[in-house]
Amino acid sequence: MARRVGRISPFNITALALGMAFLYLPIVILVIYSFNASRLVTVWGGWSLRWYHEFFNDRAMLDAAWMSLRVAAVSATIATLLGTLAAVGLARGERFRGRTLFSGMLYAPLVMPEVISGLSLLLLFVALNAERGFWTVTIAHTTLTMCFVTVVVQSRLASLDRSLEEAAMDLGCDPVQAFIRVTVPLILPAIAAGWMLAFTLSLDDVVIASFTTGPGSATLPIRIYSEVRLGVKPEINAICTMVIALIAVLIVIASLASKLSGAEVKSAAPL
Amino acid sequence: MSTRRIFAQPARYAAIAPYLWMVLFFLVPFAFVLKISLSQTAIAQPPYVPVFDFSEGWTAINAAFAQLSFDNFRLLISDSLYISSYLRSVIVAVTSTLILLLIGYPIAYGMARLPQRWQAIAMMLVIVPFWTSFLIRIYAWINILQHDGLLNKILLALHLVSSPVVWLSTDSAMYLGIVYSYLPFMILPLYATLSKMDASLLEAASDLGSSPLQAFWLVTFPLSLPGVGAGALLCFIPIIGEFVIPDLLAGSGSMMIGQTLWLEFFTNKDWPVAAAAAVALLVLLVPPLLLYDRLQRRTLEGSR
């Protein structure tokens, strides 16, 4: 490969700087305003934790947050299990009956409009006469997020050197042992990244949750969404900041974990 | 060779559980959407007349087929509300994709020109917003765009406008929200093709006497077309079915198809029409999806 000539024009730098500012400024502004003491969202009244305090006294919001965290944790865990299995099947199973259908079903939800996924799952739940609430939302989120887990884990499996698995089997491991002892440790960063991606996607979803939840079990995004439709409230700034902080902590943990688990793992990032 | 085969067998068994899950919770629900889109609206809970009732056996199924009705689809075609929301979805998706290309290309190009170690950091910076909640990012813009928000304050302070501008509930706010949310989806595939490009091609072009601009237009841009196509489709497809962004940022005037579906379902409680709208939306998505699939396959073959 030819060496790249490192020529960066002022134009390139300007485009990059403006692009990054565009991506990050709104979030930074949101975080700053969450510490605003004033009730008017746009008037700066000095630093304060007032809105955080407000949130922790808001029973309905707390319930919704707790519901969301539970749904995200449970659905991300099931999705990671199923998604990893699916990735193994696709990356190592070579050919099997219905493989095209299988990969199609796993890729379609990535671009499927949420209104369709939500509506179709709700119709299924109604037909099954399932009581809507925690479990229906969890199942819906699992279905959506396991596809993302599959993509992340599968791309890691594809780049993995198969001779390691073969060596383990030459040394007497059966395929399952070889998988658990050799493959799993090597793809662990991707599995962790997949879990986090599933967790954050679940924590973020409004549309599918709106369709599949029942009365009295709104998730945090549903509540935020209905508040936002009525206008900006400083308390929402505080909640959003806490969600951002939670996700930032998870990203840091995941990148540390991938560093600790082996220097040769280049990227645990999705996409 | 043979060890690979041995590995393949248990790996196939691994696929069984996720396979069943996806059939039950992804494929079967579509059958229900299709079925209910063909049934009659009823004022009941659930608000539709069931098409199949298997408890009665074969005769009931036959009778059910006789009952199927295309009324909901006929309504979609005859009512201008639906036609205009389809059109609006397509227009919004095309326009946003073009804006995304115009903004995303220079950024991806700049990233590809950075020194190696900086490229990884820039890539992280583009991916991280994708992780932070999408609803929160839209909300952040509502903060800025509202009547007495930061944007109007800055504009007033700079004397660019004499009175606050209405930003929220306008199409410009909606486009801004869409571009902001989908920018990473545009940048990443563009960056992937641009960073793989051989720099000696550009050197050759300049040796042969072309200006940097000519070299870009005649060499770089044509070679980056697969990335342009992938990025454009990755944005276009989900934007067509977008609901939250137009609902929060655009005015109440004209709706996108996702909003119409939502309205029929939650407000009008007309499940059969909502299901028919979902089927029609899916049909709308098939051509770009096939195109994307073909593009991906060609890129894979090209890299071999």
Share of chain B above pLDDT 70, in %: 86
The verdict on a CB contact (< 8 Å) between B33 and A92 is no
Place B94 in a pLDDT band, splitting at 50, 70 and 90.
very high
What are the structure tokens assigned to B48, written together? 């539709």
Short-list A259, A82, A93, CA closest to A179:
A93
Taking CA B223 as the corner, what is the angle to CA B219 and CA B227, rounded to the nearest 5 degrees? 140
| Residues constituting chain A | 271
Q: Which residue of A has its CA nearest to B202?
A: A5
Average pLDDT over residues A132-159: 91
Is B247:B262 a contact under the CB 8 Å cutoff? Answer: yes
HSE of A22 in the Cβ direction (CA atoms, 13 Å)? 20
Place A82 in a pLDDT band, splitting at 50, 70 and 90.
very high
The verdict on a CB contact (< 8 Å) between A116 and B281 is yes
User: A240-254, B43-57, B224-238: lowest mean pLDDT where?
Assistant: B43-57
Task: State whether residue A97 sits within 8 Å of chain B by CB.
Answer: no
Q: Residue window 124-143, chain B: list those with CB within 8 Å of chain A.
A: 124-137, 139-143
If one compares B62 and A268, the residue with the highest pLDDT of the two is: B62
B72 contacts: CB under 8 Å, gap ≥ 6? B37, B38, B272, B273, B275, B276
* SS3 state of residue B48: strand
Task: State whether residue A194 sits within 8 Å of chain B by CB.
Answer: no
Q: Which residue of B has its CA nearest to A244?
A: B132
Q: Is the pLDDT of residue B6 over 70?
A: no
Short-list B287, B303, B175, CA closest to B227:
B303
Report how far apart, in Å, the C-alpha atoms of A187 and of each of A37, A121, A191 are: 46, 31, 6
The verdict on a CB contact (< 8 Å) between B110 and A15 is yes
Q: Residue window 144-183, chain A: list those with CB within 8 Å of chain B.
A: 146, 150, 162, 165-166, 169-170, 175-176, 178-179
B33 contacts: CB under 8 Å, gap ≥ 6? A116, A119, A120, A123, B275, B278, B279
What are the structure tokens assigned to B269, written together? 């409680």
Place A134 in a pLDDT band, splitting at 50, 70 and 90.
very high
Nearest to B275 among A5, A119, A236 (CB): A119
Taking CA B24 as the corner, what is the angle to CA B23 and CA B28, rounded to the nearest 5 degrees? 80
Place B214 in a pLDDT band, splitting at 50, 70 and 90.
confident
Instruction: Compute the nearest-CA separation of A94 from chain B (Å).
Output: 6
Task: State whether residue B153 sits within 8 Å of chain A by CB.
Answer: yes
CA pair distance A205, A209, nearest whole angstrom? 6
**B198 neighbourhood in chain A, CB within 8 Å:** 1-2
| Residue of B97, B113, B202 for testing the chain A interface, max A β-carbons within 10 Å | B113
CA pair distance A226, B139, nearest whole angstrom? 12
The verdict on a CB contact (< 8 Å) between A119 and B282 is no
Place A254 in a pLDDT band, splitting at 50, 70 and 90.
confident
The verdict on a CB contact (< 8 Å) between B153 and A150 is no
Average pLDDT over residues A109-116: 86
* SS3 state of residue A200: helix
Average pLDDT over residues B132-151: 83
Cβ-in-10-Å burial (0-12, 13-18, 19+) of B226 comes to middle
Question: Is this complex scored with an ipTM above 0.90?
Answer: no
Is-cis flag, bond preceding A10, omega within 30? no
Short-list B202, B260, B242, B265, CA closest to B93:
B242
| Per-residue pLDDT, A180 | 83
Q: Is the pLDDT of residue A87 over 70?
A: yes
Report how far apart, in Å, the C-alpha atoms of A122 and of each of A118, A169, B132 are: 6, 46, 27
User: A167-171, A198-202, A257-261: lowest mean pLDDT where?
Assistant: A257-261
Q: Is the pLDDT of residue A270 over 50?
A: no
DSSP state of A159: T
Task: State whether residue B117 sits within 8 Å of chain A by CB.
Answer: no
Short-list A208, A195, A221, CA closest to A67:
A221
Place B127 in a pLDDT band, splitting at 50, 70 and 90.
confident
Q: How many CB atoms lie within 10 A of CB B121?
A: 11
Highest mean pLDDT (candidates A103-117, B226-240, B289-303)? B226-240
Is B165:B155 a contact under the CB 8 Å cutoff? Answer: yes
pLDDT (tens digit per residue) in B48-88: 665 555 555 556 556 556 566 777 777 777 777 888 888 99
Report how far apart, in Å, the C-alpha atoms of A198 and of each of A25, B102, B174 are: 26, 31, 27
Average pLDDT over residues A193-209: 91
Place B268 in a pLDDT band, splitting at 50, 70 and 90.
confident
CA pair distance A56, A62, nearest whole angstrom? 7
Instruction: Compute the nearest-CA separation of A65 from chain B (Å).
Output: 14
Question: How many residue pairs from chains A and B have C-beta atoms closer than 8 A?
Answer: 274
